């Protein structure tokens, strides 16, 4: 099988998809190779991401990576989100084919960008 059952489940049943009203941080990233894009919205309380929502445009693995990331990083400190790596998202998906690893990197980059925007707003 090319994709894990975890990836297929997150693609078919994405968690936390959609925009967020009045988010505390917004960030996006894209993969220029194919145009995949992810945008994350954060709601932060006491320094923790208590809600994470996303929008994506791209392949199934990018949708799945954003979905799994929205669950994996909820409750974590914003500082932790600033250091998110695609490899952790890839592991949560039980792997990605070599030609789709950019999906995890796009999700990680968008989360880092959202956390950075939140921090910049805080001064």
User: What pLDDT score does 13 carry?
Assistant: 97
Tell me which residue range forms the domain holding 99: 5-122
CATH number at residue 17: 3.90.1010.10
pTM: 0.94
Per the listing, tokens 């039980």 go with: 94
Mean pLDDT, range 21-47, rounded to an integer: 96
Indicate the number of domains in the chain: 1
Per the listing, tokens 């925007």 go with: 117
Measured distance CA(123)–CA(17) in Å, rounded: 29
pLDDT tens for 58-98 read 999 999 999 999 999 999 999 999 999 999 999 999 999 99
Non-local (6+) Cβ contacts of 12 within 8 A are none
């Amino acid at each position: 099988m090319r994709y894990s059952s975890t990836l297929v489940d997150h693609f078919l049943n994405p968690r936390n998809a959609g925009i967020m009203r009045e988010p505390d941080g917004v960030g996006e990233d894209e993969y220029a190779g194919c145009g995949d894009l992810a945008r994350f919205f954060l709601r932060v309380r006491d320094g923790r991401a208590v809600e994470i929502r996303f929008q994506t445009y791209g392949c199934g693995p990018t949708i799945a990576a954003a979905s799994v990331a929205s669950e994996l990083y909820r409750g974590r400190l914003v500082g932790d989100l600033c250091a998110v790596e695609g490899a952790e998202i890839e592991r949560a998906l039980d792997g990605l084919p070599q030609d789709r690893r950019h999906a995890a990197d796009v999700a990680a980059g968008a989360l880092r960008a959202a956390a950075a925007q939140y921090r910049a707003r805080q001064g």
